[in-house]
Amino acid sequence: MATHASTRPFEAGKPYQQLQEAGIQTTRLDEIVRQKDPTLKEVVEKLSRGQVREAMEKLDATGRVHEISDRDERIATIAHEYKKQPEGTLVVSPDNQSRVAIMKRFTMPCRIRTGYRTSSTG
C-alpha cells in the first residue's frame, strides 16, 4: 500500500488516513524490482515521479512507441501484435469506444487499461 503523495495503486480511504495521523507505523515501498530491463526501469522511475513526457520520450527513443494514425489499421496492428505475445502484454486504450473496437479483434482473453480502471474479459 502506498502512502502520502506517492503513486497509489488504490485509494486507502479515510480509515487508513486516520490510522496514519494517529501514528500507526507505515512502510513505504519505493524500490522498483519488477522491471529487469534498465530502460524500462528508468521509464517506471520517471513515471513514479510524474515525469510522463520524459518517460514517453524514453520509450519512443527506444522504439517502444508506435503511432498509427489510421484507426482501423491501428486496431488491427494492436490485435496482431498482442496475439504474437499475449503474456505480460498490456494494451492501453484512451477511451471505451476504442477499447470495445480492440476487444472485438481479439480472439483470446486479455486485459485492457482504460484510464484508471482495468477491465478483464475472457
Alpha-carbon distances, residue 60 vs 38, 54, 55, 57, 79 (angstroms)? 15, 10, 9, 5, 20
**Region 52-69 average pLDDT:** 92
Segments forming the whole domain that contains residue 84: 71-121
Same domain, 81 and 44: no
- When comparing pLDDT for 6 and 21, which is higher? 21
User: Within a domain: residue 3?
Assistant: no
Same domain, 22 and 57: yes
Same domain, 56 and 75: no
- Count CB neighbours of 59 within 10 A: 17
Same domain, 56 and 81: no
Same domain, 57 and 76: no
What is the Cα–Cα distance from 97 to 94, expressed in whole angstroms? 9
Q: Cell 487499461 sits at which residue?
A: 113
Domains contained in the chain, number = 2
Range in 33-47, 72-86, 92-106, 108-122 with the lowest mean pLDDT: 108-122
Same domain, 53 and 77: no
E strand segments, 23-89: none
pLDDT at 58 over 90: yes
- When comparing pLDDT for 15 and 8, which is higher? 15
pTM of the entire predicted model: 0.51
**Region 1-9 average pLDDT:** 47
C-alpha cell recorded at residue 44: 517506471
